[in-house]
Amino acid sequence: MRAGLLASLFLLFSSGLAHAQTMTVEEDLVTDYKPVLARIEASDTSAIRSRLQGVVTRLTIDEGSVVAKDDVVAFVTDDTLAPQVRALTARIEGLDARIAQQTDDLARAEKLLDRGFYPKARFEQEQTALNVLKQERAAAASERRSLMAREAEGNIRAPADGKITSVVTVQGAVVSPGEEIARLATLDGVVRLSIPERHIGALSEGESVTLRLPARSDEVRAAEIMKIYPELRNGAVIADAEVEGGLDALVGERADVMVPVGERRAIRIPEAFVTTRYGVDFVRVRVGDRFVEAPVMLAEPVAVSGAYDVLSGLKPGDVIAAPEHETS
Is the confidence at residue 320, as pLDDT, over 60? yes
What pTM does this model have? 0.57
Query: Residues 160, 68: one domain?
Result: yes
- What CA–CA distance (Å, rounded) separates 99 from 103? 6
Query: Residues 62, 170: one domain?
Result: yes
Query: Residues 73, 166: one domain?
Result: yes
- Provide, for the chain, the percentages of residues in helix, strand and coil under a 3-state DSSP scheme, each rounded to the nearest 5: 30, 40, 30
Any domain includes 1: no
Residue length of the chain: 328
User: Which residue would you say has higher pLDDT here, 39 or 165?
Assistant: 165
Contact 20, 291 (CB under 8 A): yes
Q: What is the pLDDT of residue 98?
A: 93
What CATH number has the domain bearing residue 211?
A: 2.40.30.170
Three-class secondary structure of residue 10 per DSSP: helix
Phi/psi of residue 238, nearest 5 degrees: -105, 130
Longest dimension (CA), the chain: 144
Query: Residues 291, 175: one domain?
Result: no
Q: Which conformational region is residue 217 in: left (phi greater than 0), alpha (psi within -120 to 50 degrees), or beta?
A: left
Three-class secondary structure of residue 211 per DSSP: strand
Query: Residues 310, 272: one domain?
Result: yes
- What CA–CA distance (Å, rounded) separates 177 from 54? 9
Any domain includes 3: no
Query: Residues 278, 306: one domain?
Result: yes
- What CA–CA distance (Å, rounded) separates 151 from 159? 19
Is the confidence at residue 9, as pLDDT, over 50? no
Could you list the residue range(s) of the whole structural domain that residue 118 is in? 81-150
Q: What is the pLDDT of residue 94?
A: 94
Q: What is the pLDDT of residue 123?
A: 86
Any domain includes 252: yes
Any domain includes 2: no
Query: Residues 181, 145: one domain?
Result: no
For 59-92, how does the pLDDT look when each residue is reduced to its tens digit (9 = 90+)? Answer: 999 988 889 999 999 999 998 998 999 999 999 9
Mean pLDDT of 170-194: 86
User: Which residue would you say has higher pLDDT here, 114 or 191?
Assistant: 114
DSSP E strand boundaries for 43-101? 45-49, 54-59, 66-67, 72-77
Q: How confident is the model at residue 36 (pLDDT cuts 50, 70, 90)?
A: confident
Is the confidence at residue 194, as pLDDT, over 70? yes
Highest mean pLDDT among 89-93, 207-211, 301-305: 89-93
For CA atoms 257, 237, 49, 182, the dihedral sign is: positive
Task: Indicate the number of domains in the chain.
Answer: 4
Is the confidence at residue 8, as pLDDT, over 80? no
**How many other C-beta atoms lie within 10 A of the C-beta of residue 197?**
12
Any domain includes 214: yes
Q: What is the pLDDT of residue 3?
A: 38
Q: Which of 261, 289, 311 is the last residue of a domain?
A: 261
Q: What is the pLDDT of residue 179?
A: 93
Three-class secondary structure of residue 252 per DSSP: coil
Is the confidence at residue 233, as pLDDT, over 70? yes
For 127-149, how does the pLDDT look when each residue is reduced to its tens digit (9 = 90+)? Answer: 999 999 999 999 999 999 999 99
Query: Residues 62, 173: one domain?
Result: yes
Q: What is the pLDDT of residue 325?
A: 57
Any domain includes 312: yes
Q: Which of 245, 261, 277 is the last residue of a domain?
A: 261
Residues ≥6 apart with Cβ < 8 Å to 162: 42, 46, 66, 67, 184, 185, 186, 187
Any domain includes 17: yes
Of all residues in the chain, the percent with pLDDT exceeding 90 is 35
Query: Residues 193, 249: one domain?
Result: yes
Is the confidence at residue 37, as pLDDT, over 70? yes
Query: Residues 62, 182: one domain?
Result: yes
Query: Residues 253, 269: one domain?
Result: no
Q: How confident is the model at residue 12 (pLDDT cuts 50, 70, 90)?
A: very low
User: Which residue would you say has higher pLDDT here, 42 or 29?
Assistant: 29
Q: Which of 138, 168, 186 is the last residue of a domain?
A: 186
Query: Residues 207, 237: one domain?
Result: yes
Of all residues in the chain, the percent with pLDDT exceeding 70 is 88
Any domain includes 93: yes
pLDDT, the chain, mean: 83
Three-class secondary structure of residue 133 per DSSP: helix
Q: What is the pLDDT of residue 235?
A: 86
Is the confidence at residue 56, as pLDDT, over 90? yes
What CATH number has the domain bearing residue 65?
A: 2.40.50.100
Name the DSSP letter for residue 3: H
Is the confidence at residue 163, as pLDDT, over 80? yes
What CATH number has the domain bearing residue 315?
A: 2.40.420.20
